[in-house]
Structure 1
Amino acid sequence: MRETTLDEGNEQDLAHLDRNIRRIIELQDPAILEAGAARAMQILESFKHTFINCATSRPNVEVTPWTETIATLIPQAQRKRTVIGVVGNTGAGKSSVINAMLNEERLVPTNCMRACTAVVTEISWNNSDEASSKYRAEIEFISPEDWEKELSVLMQEFSSENGTLSHEVQDPNSDAGVAWAKFHAVYPSVRKDALHETTIPDLMLDNSVRSVLGTTKQIHMSHPGSFYIELQKYVDSKEKVSKKDKSKSRTKASSPKTEYWPLIKVVKIYTKSSALSTGAVIVDLPGVHDSNAARAAVAEGYMKQCTGLWIVAPINRAVDDKAAKTLLGDSFKRQLKYDGGFSSVTFICSKTDDISITEAIDSLELDGEIAELEQQSGSYDEQIEQIHRRIKELEESQQVYKLAMESLAEKIETWETLHERLQDGEPVYAPITPLKKRKNTSSDKRPLKRQELQQNFDGEVSDSDDEVSDSDGEVQFQGERLVLSELDVRNKLKELREAKRNARQESTKMQSAIDDLGPQIGTLQTEKGKIRAEMSRICIAGRNLYSKSAIRQDFAAGIREIDQENAAEADEDSFDPDEEMRDYEQVAKSLPVFCVSSRAYQKMCGRMQKDDNVHGFTSVEETEIPQLQIHCQKLTEAGRIQTSRTFLTGFLQLLITFRLWTSENSPDLKLTEKDKQQHLKFLERRMEELKTGFDDSVHNCVKQVKSEVRLQISDRFPELVNDAIEAAPATAGAWGQKDQGGLMWASYKAVVRRAGVFHSTAAGKRDFNSDLVEPIMKRLATGWERTFQRRLPETLNNHIDDLDKLLGKAHKAIEARVRSTGIGLANLSVLRTRLPNYKDGFKAYGVDLVNEMKEIQREANRDFTPCIVDMMRDAYNICAAQNGPGSFKRMKEHMISHVVDARHTMFRKAVQKVEEDLEAMSKTLQKRMEAKASEIFRNMNRDYTCALGNQPTRVLSNEEREMKSATRQILRGIDAQFEPIANGDLSSSKEPVHNSTEGHGGTDDSGQVSFEQADKETNNVPRVLREKSRSFNQAYVEDSMDDDE
């Protein structure tokens, strides 16, 4: 058998260049894919350094095309952020849930007395390895211009017409009260009686305010406690409280300090929590029903970015209040419908430890499961009661012995005195002995046992010669007095001392018995506590199970309602209520619901030491916080897989290009010049046909996109505009009519002061602009969702399939030619290996294209309302300026008049703006498709011409030959580097990789996150949780990838 030469072995290494990389690409494990991407980044660095070194030492060698290609590929490895918005009413416990999920006792502000999440808070992975920066924060303050505008609105809100403070501020829940609280937080030294002398320019000159506006405050701490305290100085909405002077009883008022939360635009926290290590970004948004609507634009901006939306509600209200169905309101659910965001929702029931066992047993019908435990608990109660009764009896008897000892001590003292008199030679007599002493009308109420004990130790009760008198109906008999001898006295003393000693012994025995019974009570109470804890556990688990089912059904019912409402609005004639617009049973099943107890989790993790233990949980898994942490990581997996696959596919294509470039490209056959020209012309024709096919596919795809948009959306605009025009006067009129759901004067004016949008404490969130455009939004919703969630993704995916077919057809034709002529046959196998790479690249490109389309449409569907705001601004300003008697009437009249006059123009402008957005979307997609088609064509043309062109070998310079040799040397070892990773061994890919986000808190302006440093912390997650996460998420990722494709 012929031995394989070194060169042949090297060629075999190059022939299998893609073997292990392709194995990695086909896997569904994001950790393995990212490990492969990290290794690929290191290899690219090797290539780059090789090319740069060659260019440095040999200026005649051209390396720019290769270094530029590498520079273009490297950023594709950066992990994209997965933004998760967390919303919930005040008191829902969302901040506590976030803290528990981050494994921190306190990071996001919490307060048991009030709502303190007054600012939008973004929490993401901290890339810093500095010990002093383990916890970091960036506090961005609003601009001076924005604060000046808001200050003007606030002062109008709480000021009366004469410039003094309105009496409504006395109610802290009124709109004026909320505005004053916000103003007073920033300017605590401004007195109420001095408001009429205060001007906005003066307020803007305040040093404490001016010094922070438009700036970003940085916080770096190594310890969470000190970090939290420092952060609280800025973000907590305090309430002024008085402090007690420790040295005096009188109250000492604390000096007023400026609070900064009203001035904050957003707070960004960076922490090394394993839940965030895979790229998740948690955004804690102000309560959706809170009176404070600050930073609305920032919150809306995050909502557009959200990959996931977590709704938090206390479990004891989540089901009863139909929170899954009603919490966010119809307008919010409609926005989710436009965005295709129903699948992004996760429902979190908080405070599962807050439960009444009695109520849970009754409402959940748990009598059967609890009966035996209740019987055991009752048995323990009975035993404890018996022991308490026995202890009480012993204590009563012990008290009798103690009384007897006191009595005996007195008698001993008396007889000792008699003994002393007798020794002095005096005659002594026996003390008077009472034969009977009682009230005529009463009887001794002491227990029989106690009476007997008392009688055993009672003797003489008098040691004097005093006369005994009758009084108060008492009768006393006196015995005959006897002269005592010394023997009598000694015997009596011996008798009394013996009796006292016996009483003491009996008392000691009883105390010992009491001491023995005490621990028995403790043991029984411990056992009873275990029983009660098990009862709580069963009740909590039962309520969790019921709540999850009910919430899922409520959520699906809410989606069905809005689907049917919008369908009926869109086309009432053809609307069929029995026709299901989607699989609502699947919608219910696919809603992730977690029933969590952050308190129980924190206690079981050793935190919150000052709090009492939480019963009803035997493991941290029962708190469901670990499952929520896994879910948080899971939400990033589809994006991580897609990013890594796209990068590795591009990397593999580049390797094959290097392989072809470095191969010895000597002519395979001795051909005539005519044969060579014919062969080259054949390749050129096929490449030209491929380019034409690509161009036609792009053209047809864009044409189909525009057609779908026109058919489902644009063609309906005239009808929808007319509906909005007709409805507008009645809509505007209803704003001021209380019986039609309208507002009182104060709330109405608060709304117009804020350009038509305000979250009133009395009337909830009101948005005049959305009300006006609602006829368009409601009737367009179904067609919009159909277009952007189904029709256009299908159209774009068809385009991707066309590209793949065209490429396969071109390769097949070229392969047939090569086999018939023999020209380039040696490189044909290398080119064939590129076909799967192109197919993978097409899939990744298709996913990116659909995602880009969806991001653009998210912006477009929000552009109806801003046009309404612009057209209504004059009306809002005029209405806000109305004062004095009759002002409310004038406000309403002017509002209706303006709406009637402006309605035709503003609705047409609104739809025109959206049409322009959709046209721009088509152009953007067209440019993207053309660029991608051109890129694919260039790469194919280069590779096929290089491999099959049968070009005469050009004499290479020594420098070029050395660079190719160095490149081939790197190529030979690549497959072996990926083999351990393909086999699941991630230890070989732990070296950090160059990343543009380093030193910027884990994110850059493009919203991307580095994964290499984060993976170090991922290893800190308990192994059992990592294994659970992998198995738990496998099906989810596969489904996600299928959907993306």
Structure 2
Amino acid sequence: MSSTISEVSPAQFIGQQSNIDIDLEANDRLSGADGQDGEQTSKTGGANAEQDPTSTMVKAEESGVSTLQTVPAIPSDMGLKQHEGSPEKKEEDKAVGFPVSDLTPQPENITLNSVKHAADAADLLKLEAYIEMAGQVLGAMRQPMADSKQRDEQDWLRRIDALETKSRRLRTVVAVAGATGAGKSSLINALLDEEKLLPTSGFRACTAVITEISYNESDDPKKAYRAEVEFISQEEWDSELKLLHAELVEDKQLSSAYLDTNAEAGIAYAKIRAVYPDLTHEMIIKSKVAELGKRDVVANVLGKTRKITCSNARDLYTSLQKYLDSKDKDTKGGPRRENDMAFWPLIKVVKVYTRASALETGVCIVDLPGIHDANAARSAVARKYMAECNSVWIAAPIKRAVDDEAARKLLGMNSRLQMKLDGIYSNVTFICTMTDAVQVEESLEAFDEDGQIQAIFAREDDLEKMIGSKKEFIDQLSKQVADGDVAYQELARELEVWKGLQKKQKKGQPVYPPQVPSKRKRATAPTKRRRRPEVVVDDSDEDDTVGRNPLTADEISSKLTDLEDKVMSNDAECEDMEKRLQTLKDELTALEGEKQDIAVESRRQCILKRNAHVKQAIRVDFSNGIREIDEAGIDDENFDPSIRQRDYVQYQQLRMQTKRETRVEGFRNLTDSEIPLLQQHAIKLPEQGRIHVYRTFLHDFYGLLCSLTIWADSSLLERNAQAMSEHDQSYEVKSMQAACSNMKQELNLLILKNKTDLNTIIRNGFHPKSNAAITSAGKDVLDVVSKWPIKKDDGGYGIIFSTYRAICRHQGSKTKSEKSRDFNEDILEPYLKKIAGSWDQAFGNSIPTTLDALVAAFAHELEKFHDTMSSRPELEKCKMASLRMLGQQITNEVKKFQDKVTDIKGTIQGQQREASRAFLPEIQKQMLKAYTLVAQEKGKGCFVRMKEHMIVHVRKNKTAIYRKATNRVMDELKKIFESNLKKLQKEAHEIIDRLEKDYTVVISSSEMIEASAVAREHIRSVLLKVEAQFKEIEGPEPMEVDPAQPSESEPQQLADASMADVGATAGEAAEPGLTGEDIAMDTVL
């Protein structure tokens, strides 16, 4: 009997019992008593007996938790011979004494390895799939907790809700800048695959209004295109209207320059007349600014936002024209009324939403008219976008890029200085537009170093000669064919005449030789010969035959034979000539087609070679521009601003076949225009940022799942471990809480040290440069101020009296006049030149490195805490499995803190941009007294007094101007460091609090109430499925390949290497500093 029992495994024993309720608590008591036999009872019910015979439902109860496990049934032929209820079986059970752990079905373990791997994925598509799956999991977990009153469940619900609502979209702002007429709007239309969405006519409104284009999230076809027109506030308009009126009205009359659209007075007149079309000149002079600003028709739009929805782009374009059109409304000859007002001077920004694929990843394109708008509100908005932008695209006609030092002149010194302070000068993309406007002869001289274009032209000349020669042959042969055709017709006519004579002769009629008719004129062009010529009957009358002998049958037959031979010979010759003529025509067509193709190719090669030349020239020029700022310079080989040539006209013609447009030659397909490359560039811009956002979310998600696993599964994790007494639990919890409290104190010290380190970076790295910059700028600024009114021929800026005063009225800000300058920027420039390099070093390198050190220090504290808790004897003995899971949680919390620090780095970078822009308003504030004195000057000799006011003020306050500007910015930086370190401190404390809660759950084993048990069981059921769900997205693991054995992938690697070589060759040369994208682009071209 015992030998039989010894052959029965516990699994077989369980499998033979189709329905068993196992009381784990009873089993624990039985197995825990020394010398006592285990006891097992079984109950079989009718309902249970009807279940699937291939599985067993097992109810496990422990510490108040009830779980149901489905255990696969074991086939009955596994060696177990005893019946379940037999006395012999019970006796054998007692004799053998199976351990309860052998008889109890093991609960399925929760694993989260795939979620952990998902949080570290680099594939964007997989990350998006993981994010979608995580959202489904969160939705499933929150269901049983939604109406719960239990505190712990409400805590979990808050964490789930916070994670669900956490933004996973990333906004990447691209500022598109460029001079008027550079083609920015047309470029953006092509980028969006729209023929006409933004205004492109180049009139005033197009260049004055900031336009933001973002992705439209609406799926409603009726709202496929949306726009929001945001107007300036009442206060902003009152302030601008006051300036406009002052510039337009002088000594109670309109300025003499009010019709000059390039002068301040002319611009002011255009704006006032646009908003108040009913005002006459006399009314403008006598009007009060406060009353004009309060007009109902104007006040009704100020501070408001008008929303527009359309189903197509053309309707949206038409709707926007109502707000952007600067042309006077047609009043049909009548007087203009108040309601005929134009809106464009009052618009702050226009936001357009469209479902263009180039914007789908989160790119926001901002068409900037320039940060020096005469409208103060728009200028502020433009500066805001420049501070926020992640990338800058500078559009310029390629001819200007060839002729000028485009990279420097297009931006201006102050713009380049600001970009260096912002840390985005490496994110500049120059877009050369209008690349199809090329002068072939100029390109031949300037860019055809390898003779490729010359070879094309030589071939074109050869083709021209061949075509001319071929045409001559065709003309000659055509004449021969025409002559042959005439001869054929004559012979055929004569043959028919003789055949008629033969018929008459056979009928017994006398016939005579026909009279020879006059020759017909040769056809001017070859015609196809008639194979059945008209029948000519001999119509000689009797008088014509007098004295002539009739023809004999032999004579007629001989003549017919001779004529038939001639006709056949002539026909063969004509057939041969026609074949040769058709061959010549085919050859001519082929030559003309080749000539047409080669003409396009010659223009194309001129375009491509000029593009390649301009790319390298702009790279060098931009690098030289940075050297002007930073004496240390930039390595040409390592610095590579992205250069792209784009032709939106060609692209739109190829893409949309625009009606009524003359087709421009030079591009063969969409790729040649490089617009598709620009679209892909836009799509990829947010890629790294999106990966970071998704990973951050998944790290939070994984941490939440770990905590929920500990909460729902801690008792099962330690089911085979020794239980801790209540006294030990209380003692260990207190010890853990004390350790957490100590860790918070250590963290506070780390934060304080980090704050000190950051301030030291500014104090040691920036302050010395700043002090030297103040001294240097103080010496240079007088020269700058003196040059403003000096003529350009004499080395000055050539600012005339009216413009000088208008600038001072605008408190030193640039006006719309072409010759205007920003006085505040000019004063700030010599100072920024000296501090830009150290500023860039501090925020681009030193500060991020210091923050990374904080992450490492905090990670060390967390690991030290976990090692301390894991080494405690009671926990090591009773909670080892749970401690291992907590170790994984510690690792993930470090990653989450790293994610937070990465976010903080981005926040500091954005905030330091704002701080660096505080230099300018402080300069303006310190110069306000001088601007006020200058603006008030009138009468004879006022320009001399204006210049004197400016010089005296700057000479007296030059050091104070820069010192106060520096102090203001330093105060801003201190606030930035303090606020962001507080955020990091809060995040670290929250991490410690979460860990404290997880450790408490692990250490404590208090009884759970029924409501919690239901929620835990539901959470556990969801968590059990997560691994498989994420594993399915992850896909099969890559097969391990023995490095000693040849791999099938090796040929592919060789192919890739050869492709790289071909790419470099096709691109002519892998220039120093070129990115892979640039080489690929050159290869395509």
Q: TM-score, normalised on structure 1?
A: 0.75
Q: Where does 1:444-455 land on structure 2 (aligned, <5 Å)?
A: none
Alignment partner, residue 668 of structure 2: 618
Alignment of 1:518-557 (within 5 A): 524-557=591-624
Distance of 2:595 and 2:330 partners within structure 1: 42
**Contact 2:208–2:373 at 8 Å: present in 1 too?**
no
- Is structure 2 residue 845 aligned with structure 1 residue 790? yes
Amino acid at match of 1:552: R
**Paired residue for 1:687?**
740
Distance 1:559 1:176 in 2: 37
Q: What SS is found at the alignment partner of 2:638?
A: helix
Please tell me whether the aligned partners of residues 135 and 224 of structure 1 are also in contact (alpha carbons under 8 angstroms): yes
Superimposed CA distance per residue, residues 374-415 of structure 1 (whole angstroms, 9 cap, x where no aligned partner) = 344334433554576689999999999xxxxxxxxxxxxxxx
897-906 vs 170-179, which moves further = 897-906
User: Match for residue 35 of structure 1?
Assistant: 129
Deviations along 1:575-616, one digit per CA (max 9) or x if unpaired, are xxxxx455442112xx22111111111111124222122322
Q: In structure 1, which of residues 106, 110, 126 is the aligned counterpart of residue 196 of structure 2?
A: 106
* Cα deviation 1:66-113 (Å, max 9, x = unaligned): 222223223434212111100011121111111111111111210167
Aligned: 1:976 with 2:1066: no
Partner of 2:1068: none
Residue identity matched to 2:142: K
User: Shift in Å at residue 632 of structure 1?
Assistant: 0.7
Post-superposition CA distance 1:40-81 (Å, at most 9, x none): 12322222332114x2xxx46653212222232234342121
Cα–Cα, structure 1 residues 904 and 512, in superposed 2: closer, same or farther, change >3 Å?
same
Deviations 1:20-54 (A, max 9, x none): 2223222222232133222212322222332114x
- Alignment of 1:154 with 2:248, yes or no, is no
Which residue of 611, 615, 633 corresponds with 2:683? 633
C-alpha distance in 2 between matches for 1:80 and 1:874: 44
What's the counterpart of residue 235 of structure 2?
145
Alignment deviations for residues 821-843 of structure 1 (CA, whole Å, 9 cap, x no partner): 41211312322322331232132
SS at match of 2:431: strand
Is residue 2:824 matched to residue 1:774? no
Residue of structure 1 equivalent to 2:884 = 829
Matched, 1:964 2:1053: no
Closer, same or farther in 2 for the Cα pair 1:71/1:909, shift >3 Å? farther
Aligned: 1:799 with 2:837: no
Task: With a CA cutoff of 8 Å and minimum separation of 6, indicate the structure with the bigger relative contact order.
Answer: 1
Indicate conservation of the 8 Å contact 1:818/1:825, yes or no. no
Instruction: Answer yes or no: is the 8 Å Cα contact 1:121–1:284 preserved in 2.
Output: yes
Question: In structure 2, how many angstroms separate the alpha carbons of the residues matched to 1:113 and 1:397?
Answer: 63
Give unmatched runs, 5+ long, in structure 2.
Answer: 1-8, 16-57, 59-67, 72-104, 484-519, 525-541, 546-576, 1038-1074, 1078-1085
SS in 1 for 2:394: strand
Shift in Å, 1:673: 6.1
1:223 aligns with 2:325: no
- Distance in 1 (alpha carbons) for counterparts of 2:157 and 2:1076: 38
One-letter code of the match for 2:813?
A: V
Question: Distance in 1 between the 2:1036 and 2:390 partners?
Answer: 29
Per-residue deviation, 1:528: 2.0
SS at match of 1:757: coil
933-942 or 829-838, which moves further after superposition?
829-838
1:856 maps to 2:911 = yes
Provide the rounded CA distance (Å) in 2 between the counterparts of 1:213 and 1:644.
40
Q: What is the one-letter code of the residue matched to 1:854?
A: Q
Cα shift at 1:798: 0.4
Q: How many residues align?
A: 860
Partner of 1:219, secondary structure, is strand
Q: Counterpart amino acid of 1:231?
A: L
Deviations 1:155-194 (A, max 9, x none): 2223332322x22234332333333233333334433455
Alignment of 1:590-739 (within 5 A): 591-665=641-715, 668-671=721-724, 675-676=728-729, 679-714=732-767, 717=770, 720-724=773-777, 729-738=782-791, 739=794
* Mapping 1:4-153, distance limit 5 Å: 7=69, 14-17=109-112, 19-53=113-147, 55=148, 59=149, 63-111=153-201, 116-153=206-243
Asked if 2 retains the 8 angstrom alpha-carbon contact of 1:14 and 1:659, the reply is: no
> In the alignment, is the contact (CA less than 8 A) between 2:806 and 2:815 conserved in 1?
no
Contact 1:90 1:287 in 2 (8 A): no
Which amino acid is 1:78 matched to? R
Partners in 2 of 1:288 and 1:511 — Cα distance? 72
| Equivalent in 903, 909, 928 of residue 964 of structure 2 | 909
Are residues 362 and 984 of structure 1, via their aligned partners in 2, closer, same or farther at CA, if it must alter by over 3 Å? farther
For residues 387-466 of structure 1, the aligned pairs below 5 Å read none
Point out the structure with max Rg over C-alpha: 2
Asked whether the 8 Å contact 2:611–2:645 carries over to 1, the reply is yes
1:172 corresponds to which residue? Answer: 261
Query: Hey, what does 2:804 align to over in structure 1?
Result: 748
Query: CA separation of 1:724/1:551 partners in 2, compared to 1, >3 Å: closer, same or farther?
Result: closer
8 Å Cα contact 1:118-1:235 kept in structure 2: no
Q: 2:639 aligns with which of 587, 595, 608?
A: 587
What CA distance in whole angstroms lies between the structure 1 residues aligned with 2:578 and 2:342?
A: 61
Separation in structure 2 between the aligned mates of residue 51 and residue 700 of structure 1, nearest angstrom = 42
Which residue of the other structure, out of 900, 912, 917, is the alignment partner of 1:845? 900
Deviation string 1:936-981 (CA, Å, 9 cap, x unpaired) is 111111112322x2x2x32322212111111112211122222233
Amino acid aligned to 1:311: I
- Say if 2:714 and 2:1001, in contact at 8 Å, map to a contact too: no
Letter in 2 for 1:15: I
Give the 3 Å change call, closer, same or farther, for CA 16–672 of structure 1 in structure 2: closer
- For the Cα contact (< 8 Å) 1:293–1:758, is it kept in 2? no
Contact between 1:21 and 1:975, CA under 8 Å: does it hold in 2? yes
Identity percentage over the alignment?
34
Shift of 1:208: 4.1
Instruction: Give the 3 Å change call, closer, same or farther, for CA 237–38 of structure 1 in structure 2.
Output: farther
- Specify whether residues 355 and 294 from structure 1 end up closer, same or farther in structure 2 by C-alpha distance, changes over 3 A only: farther
Change (3 A) 1:384 1:157: farther
Q: How far apart in 1 are the matches of 2:412 and 2:433?
A: 20
SS in 1 for 2:229: strand
Q: Identify if the C-alpha distance between structure 1 residues 60 and 772 changes in structure 2 by more than 3 Å, giving closer, same or farther.
A: closer
Aligned pair partner of 1:333 in 394, 410, 416: 416
What is aligned with 1:344? 427
- Of the structure 1 ranges 66-75 and 656-665, higher mean CA displacement relative to structure 2 is found in 66-75
CA distance in 1, matches of 2:482, 2:841: 87
The answer (yes or no) to whether the contact 2:177–2:394 under 8 Å persists in 1 is yes
Structure 1 residues 973 and 699: alpha-carbon distance in aligned structure 2, compared to 1, 3 A threshold: same
Shift of 1:884: 2.2
| Residue aligning to 1:435 | none
Distance 1:640 1:662 in 2: 32
Matching residue's letter, 2:299? R
Alpha-carbon deviation of 1:755? 1.0
The CA deviation at 1:671 is 4.8
What TM-score comes out, normalization by structure 2 length?
A: 0.73
Query: Residues of 2 paired with 1:512 and 1:148: CA distance?
Result: 85
SS of the residue 1:763 aligns to: coil
Any idea what SS the aligned residue of 1:168 has?
Answer: coil
Deviation (angstroms), 1:917: 0.9
